[in-house]
Structure 1
Amino acid sequence: MGNSALKSHLETSQKTGVFQLTGKGLQEFPEELQRLTSNLRTVDLSGNKIEVLPPSIGNFLQMKSLTLNANRLTSVPPELGKLKKLETLSLNQNQLQTVPPALCQLKALRTLCLSGNLLTELPPGLGALRHLDLLDLSHNKIHHVPPEVQELQAIELNLNQNQISSVSSSISLCPRLKVLRLEENCLELSAVPLSVLDQSQISLLSLEGNLFEVKKLRDLEGYDKYMERFTATKKKFT
């Protein structure tokens, strides 16, 4: 991409606080953006070939939304944790095997999307994100949901299309969890914690495409309680 085109984008971003440059084959995070650290609020660099996010990403203290979907990132720097105003972080379709603990410092974060990576476990410490509405970990290689999940503050947790064969009953203790998606995993009916049905806040439980017929859920103790929550939520939106 020519310098003049980039210059034109930078000039626009100076006025709008938004920098969007998708599908242009960029191989690195544009260094020129450093000129805009004081006013850049939204950056979308999806569909490029970026392999490394530089530590200087920590300089964008006004940033509220960072989207780097469909790049080639294998890691993200701990400096990302400095973005105290960040509300949306989307890193779908990269090659991340882990995420740094510094992510837990993003106290304003509402949406964290890590779909289509190489994660094998739930990133630890995400319970520190008190305002998290959505955590998307679909299309990864996660095998189980550990007891620490109870610390999670998310309203929706998407774990579709992983390799999950066990779910800790602690998930029923998540204080804000309303939507739990576990489609296309490796769950037996016996691996579904009964506490999710009769003791949780969950009003939408998605389990299609596992190792049992979904209609067999009806035979489980607590299913009626779950259906009461499901129906009550449905009425709200009709």
Structure 2
Amino acid sequence: MGCCASTERSVTASRASRWRSTGIVAMRDCKLKVFPSEVIDLERSVRTLDLSHNKIVDIPVDINKLSNMQRLILADNLIERLPQNIGKLQSIKNLILDGNHISSLPDELGLLVRLEKLSLSRNLLSSLPETIGSLRNLLLLDVSNNKLKVLPESIGSCFSLEELQASGNSIEELPSSICNLIHLKSLCLNNNNLNQIPQNLLKECKSLQNISLHDNPISMEQFQQLEGFEDFESRRRKKFDKQLDSNVMINSSGLDEGVDL
């Protein structure tokens, strides 16, 4: 028994030493039910933490000790809520929480001002906090397959946003502020309840190359009548032609035609 205990301590110490030296903690598919306390003990050493595909329910309050963490991946767990002090993770750039049971987000999410990628698909979100507009460095927001009926007006303040994925919700209209997203390249809104989109969307969002509106009440005729449609169509075709010229090999389900109604 003493020998086994000694060996286990040695293995644990060796693992902790490796994590500390690399800054990378990867514990995918480890059947974890609780957030490992030994990770919290590493504090500022952790830069990437991947605990995806486990059965973790709670994120500990003292996660704020991981103050240098840049990537937090907790996809496919049983997490129901985020702690309020998650806003203290000031170094974080990628936050991946797909496939959990999260129904709401704390206002403190808006304090993650360095965040570039926020992925929350396959959760139970019925709304997004207005503070999301404080994420001025956000490049990608994925809230697909939730229970959203609206997007907050403040989303128009996410000025760096390039990709917005919100398919598989119950969204009935888009906030007019979405027209402020001048860097937006891809907008995916399949399987919602949209019967119109803001009139100035194509005119103001001059970087937009792809809009996907499959399974919405809106018609192609409505879309084509929007001001700026011709310029959008030109960008879409240019992108498509560039893909063909580069011999991009993708299957038919991944072929981006730009407009899907």
Normalised to the residue count of structure 2, the TM-score between the two structures is 0.82
1:150 aligns with 2:156: yes
Which residue does 2:257 correspond to in 1? none
In the alignment, which of 23, 30, 33 is matched to residue 27 of structure 1? Answer: 33
Preserved CA contact (<8 Å) 1:194 1:222 = no
1:96 aligns with 2:117: no
Which residue does 1:164 correspond to in 2? 171
Residues 224 and 47 (structure 1), Cα distance of their counterparts in 2 relative to 1, 3 Å cut: same
Superposed CA offset, 1:108-158 (max 9, x none): 111011111111123321121111110111111111234333222322111
Superposed CA offset, 1:212-236 (max 9, x none): 4547633444321321333455566
1:45 aligns with 2:64: no
Task: Tell me how far apart the structure 2 counterparts of residues 107 and 65 of structure 1 sit (CA, whole Å).
Answer: 14
Residues 59 and 167 (structure 1), Cα distance of their counterparts in 2 relative to 1, 3 Å cut: same
Preserved CA contact (<8 Å) 2:29 2:52 = yes
Preserved CA contact (<8 Å) 2:67 2:91 = yes
SS in 1 for 2:183: coil
Which residue does 1:184 correspond to in 2? 191
Residues 115 and 7 (structure 1), Cα distance of their counterparts in 2 relative to 1, 3 Å cut: farther
Q: Between the two proteins, what is the percent identity of the paired residues?
A: 32
Q: Residues 54-133 of structure 1: matches in 2 within 5 Å?
A: 54-133=60-139
Preserved CA contact (<8 Å) 1:144 1:164 = yes
1:217 aligns with 2:217: no
Which residue identity does 1:103 align to in structure 2? L
Task: Tell me how far apart the structure 2 counterparts of residues 200 and 100 of structure 1 sit (CA, whole Å).
Answer: 29
Q: CA deviation at 1:12?
A: 2.1
Q: CA deviation at 1:6?
A: 5.1
Preserved CA contact (<8 Å) 1:207 1:214 = no
Preserved CA contact (<8 Å) 1:106 1:129 = yes
Preserved CA contact (<8 Å) 1:9 1:19 = no
Q: CA deviation at 1:40?
A: 0.8
Task: Tell me how far apart the structure 1 counterparts of residues 221 and 201 of structure 2 sit (CA, whole Å).
Answer: 16
Normalised to the residue count of structure 1, the TM-score between the two structures is 0.89
Which residue identity does 1:115 align to in structure 2? S
Task: Tell me how far apart the structure 1 counterparts of residues 13 and 78 of structure 2 sit (CA, whole Å).
Answer: 25
Give structure 2 stretches of 5+ with no counterpart.
247-261
Q: CA deviation at 1:54?
A: 0.5
Q: CA deviation at 1:203?
A: 2.6
C-alpha RMSD over aligned residues = 2.2
Which stretches of structure 1, 4 residues or more, deviate above 6 A after TM superposition?
none
Superposed CA offset, 1:41-99 (max 9, x none): 00000011111101110001111100000111111112211111111001111111111
1:16 aligns with 2:31: no
Residues 124 and 146 (structure 1), Cα distance of their counterparts in 2 relative to 1, 3 Å cut: closer
Give structure 1 stretches of 5+ with no counterpart.
none
Which residue does 1:137 correspond to in 2? 143
Preserved CA contact (<8 Å) 2:118 2:142 = yes
Number of matched residues? 235
Task: Tell me how far apart the structure 1 counterparts of residues 176 and 108 of structure 2 sit (CA, whole Å).
Answer: 27
Which residue does 2:213 correspond to in 1? 207
Q: Larger C-alpha radius of gyration, 1 or 2?
A: 2
